A and B are shown apart, each in its own frame.
Chain A
Amino acid sequence: MPTSNNEPASDLRAPTADALPLSGIRILDLTMVWAGPSGTRLLADMGAEVIKVESARSWDMLRSLHFLSGSPHGWWNRAAYFNHNNRNKYGITLDLQTERGRELALQLVATADMVFENYRADVIGNLRLDYDDLRAVKPDIILVSMPSHGKSGPESHHVAYGTNVEQLAGLVSISGYPGMGPHKSPIAYGDPNAGAIAAAAALAALHHRRETGAGQHVEVAQWEAMIGNIGEHVIGHQMDIQTRAERPRSGELAESLGNRHISRVQGVYECATPDEWVAISAGSDAEFAALATTIGRPELARDPRFADVVSRRHHQDELDAMIAEWTRTRSQDDAARELQAAGVSAAPVLKIPRLMQDQHLRARGFWEPVASADAGTWDMEGPVWRMSRTPAHIRLPAPMFGEHNQWVLGDLLGLSEDEIAALEAEGVTAREPNLGVHS
């Protein structure tokens, strides 16, 4: 049941100067796991009314990744991974594979501005909830689809998670320790990347609707969305093969630079505490001279081995040893501070516990407390799109499974208590997920 501090704000249709930017925008959110939910979270943070739909047999897998010992009752409401990605949203259960569930979903679509889905490419059609179905009940609806490979093309039936997406997109092939083969990023990077692109594209579609009155179907193929982030390599590769006598062999990897950079003295250096590191990056001659002075070796700036960008690159191993000698006597914070004071780019390589203590993020109020009936209280990262006049905060904890059924079905769709009870008896809605799905 909604509590007093999370009453739905469905009547905020008239924009006022202090309302959140997207108040009055309603989004039906059929997405699960990370890509889609990370995108709708950005819009929810900005005040959009996001209604997340799950069902007993199709519920968000992130709820299962809780790592709590003994699986206490209600663990599906306690997984932090789920709770971070679905804050500021409402949640209902509705089995879209039932005729009644589909009908009610379409009734909600008729009141919504946008629908987000990140199913496999064929699912939305199988559910008969494709763009044409939605448009029939809401002519200017904006549908955002986020299949991994897109909805057309010979591999559109393939499936992929965020780690697969960065493999497909070529990013993994240009990542790694030099000479050591490809390396994955530590996260399912394709997901939040596609989410951020999809959220922005949805807003572009909203601008278009305001100008023309027309909705549209936006398609974000997660694989394609990731390639943009290495576009300079796509063009650079074509430049290289123009000037190379032989074509590269299939699968041949480009040389990865690891922590280094083509025109900067750059790397991570261990500090006084083992496995504590500081990242340092010095580009121009002036920045390099400041680095040399800070580490107590001002003569390096006049050394012909380090006279310019090219010679410094050829002799970086020697420089690395001298820089590391200096960092080994300091903490990562002190090293970064001293270098910054001298005009050199540097930052501590923050491990997560340190990140959450970082004085800069603390001073900016980045961490906000959140309270949830089942999960308790803890600190969560606040909205990252920071608006000066309409600052956003965490208004709502992530929805417990089916938490807002009553509000959505009763208040928004006008169903009677008997009808709502019948839906539950028929299994169209549910109070608990079918636990076998993600075990």
Chain B
Amino acid sequence: MTPPLASLRILDLTSGVSGPWCSKLLACYGADVIKIERPGIGDESRGHGRFPGGVPHREKSALFLWLNTSKRSITLDVATATGRALALRIAARCDAVITDYRPADAQRLRLTHDDFAAMNARIVTTSVTAFGQSGPYADWLATNLTSYASGGQHYLSGDPDREPLQGGGYQALYQAGTWAFGATLAAIWNARACGIGQQAEIAGQEVMAAILEIYLPDYAYRKSEALTLRRGNFASAAVGIYPAIDGHIGIHAMPKNWPQLIKAMDAEWMATDERFIDNRARLRNDDELMAQMFVFAAGVTRAEASERAGQHRAPISPVNTVADLLESKHLNTRNFFVDVEHPLAGTFRYPVPGARMPTTPTELRPAPLLGQHNGEVYGELLGLTRRDLAKLSAASVI
């Protein structure tokens, strides 16, 4: 069956996490993603690791391997006049260009949406940056940490008596990439309908500010600061993380889950205890409820808690480690991991994309070697000969 995005071709000018995650998602659903990398250096994530045996190698970075499956890599120095002209010629054959240039960089390189649109009126330019394309911070430097900070989630995260805590991995960057993926598809849908492209702009700060759960809406409306403080591992006794025999478990019980929760805890006596008789009483006696939760968690393994949770349909979960994921019977029954064989890095099990579509390709192609597809892409799309490529290579353009 044809993959859902088989008709799309994407030029990817990004590096790091946000842009490559966006274009990886496009590639996973069938788009032809052509990734431009700097000659000799490549995507910055190639330098990041982890690496097999801890030995840095630009073709073996776990971060790069993960974020660039199913793409084609060509090398091109877009800062040269020849390189820029080639990038624009490729863009002329694409539905969208993904960039992560701050506005000053896009201007300097003369690779703005207007430059692409001059070649191709239907082109969509997706810009995914930390602060967007306008405003006083638009040209600020940024990392995952600063997007986590400027988007409001950082201050809320961590213990009340300690410094704010960043979540694991690169969540602010991934989130911006996911949102850029959707925005790109919406803009392409529109361009196909009316024949005119546009710039789709994603700012990491805005993405993070838009996912502050109840905390931002409640402040925006009631102007109360009650819900704007750090609360550690517990939003309340019923929403928190508790130590179990062999690790931790998480509980998240809303009022309607209470009957199932106390069954799973084997604590049905709580149903008639005055302290826990209804939601109001439970909130009033939050400390005592928390004590009961600690007792329950301390007496079960994560597997036992999970089994009881399933049996009684209570929202209790194990705090899984990455090793647990790879061994999960549930995920493996669903064929969530697929072997991807990379010629230099070796074979590892990779997660498949999070939305399962019956028409999605079931295989992931390994992340490309640096410049692996120069011959076929420049040949196929631009009609360049081997000799042309040799000249460009000698001039360090590719």
Establish whether residues A187 and B212, one from each chain, have CB atoms under 8 Å apart when the complex forms: yes
Contacts of A253 in B (CB 8 A): 247, 321
| CB of A300 within 8 Å of the partner chain | no
- Mask of A358-391 contacts with B, CB within 8 angstroms, 1/0: 1111011010000000010011110011111110
| CB of A83 within 8 Å of the partner chain | yes
| CB of B80 within 8 Å of the partner chain | no
- Chain B residue nearest to A22 in the complex (CB): B186
Contacts of B250 in A (CB 8 A): 163-164, 167, 172, 184
Q: Which of B67, B164, B333, B355 contacts A218 (CB 8 A)?
A: B355
CB contact under 8 A between A360 and B357, given known A183-B158, A239-B51: no
| CB of A31 within 8 Å of the partner chain | no
Establish whether residues B194 and A16, one from each chain, have CB atoms under 8 Å apart when the complex forms: yes
Establish whether residues A224 and B166, one from each chain, have CB atoms under 8 Å apart when the complex forms: no
Binds B, one of A95-103, A206-214, A401-409: A206-214
CB contact under 8 A between A234 and B252, given known A198-B355, A224-B336: no
- The distance in angstroms between the C-alpha atoms of A188 and B353, with both chains bound, is 21
- The distance in angstroms between the C-alpha atoms of A247 and B134, with both chains bound, is 50
- The distance in angstroms between the C-alpha atoms of A79 and B249, with both chains bound, is 30
Contacts of A240 in B (CB 8 A): 50
Shortest CB–CB separation between residue A386 and chain B, in angstroms? 4
Shortest CB–CB separation between residue B147 and chain A, in angstroms? 8
Q: Give B280-333 interface residues, CB cut-off 8 Å to A.
A: 302, 306, 309-310, 313-326, 329-331, 333
Q: Which of A17, A218, A366 contacts B209 (CB 8 A)?
A: A366
Establish whether residues B348 and A235, one from each chain, have CB atoms under 8 Å apart when the complex forms: yes
**What size tier do the contact residues of chain B reach?**
35 or more
Contacts of B306 in A (CB 8 A): 155, 158
Chain B interface, >50% SS class:
mixed
- The distance in angstroms between the C-alpha atoms of A88 and B180, with both chains bound, is 20
CB contact under 8 A between A160 and B317, given known A207-B185, A363-B136: yes
| CB of A304 within 8 Å of the partner chain | no
Establish whether residues B158 and A158, one from each chain, have CB atoms under 8 Å apart when the complex forms: no
| CB of A438 within 8 Å of the partner chain | yes
Binds B, one of A133-141, A345-353, A416-424, A425-433: A345-353
- The distance in angstroms between the C-alpha atoms of A51 and B316, with both chains bound, is 32
Contacts of B221 in A (CB 8 A): 80, 83, 375, 378
- The distance in angstroms between the C-alpha atoms of A174 and B168, with both chains bound, is 5
| CB of A261 within 8 Å of the partner chain | yes
- Chain B residue nearest to A85 in the complex (CB): B217
Contacts of B193 in A (CB 8 A): 15
Q: Which of B135, B166, B224, B334 contacts A364 (CB 8 A)?
A: B135
Q: Which of B137, B212, B319, B351 contacts A173 (CB 8 A)?
A: B319
Establish whether residues B313 and A438, one from each chain, have CB atoms under 8 Å apart when the complex forms: no
- Chain A residue nearest to B333 in the complex (CB): A153
- The distance in angstroms between the C-alpha atoms of A253 and B318, with both chains bound, is 13
- The distance in angstroms between the C-alpha atoms of A207 and B185, with both chains bound, is 8
Contacts of B278 in A (CB 8 A): 439
Extra A-B contacts (10), CB below 8 Å, given A186-B230, A208-B4: A21-B186, A161-B254, A197-B355, A231-B66, A231-B350, A240-B50, A279-B146, A353-B219, A360-B131, A389-B198
Residue contacts A-B, CB under 8 angstroms, 5 given: A181-B248, A192-B211, A228-B174, A352-B155, A352-B156
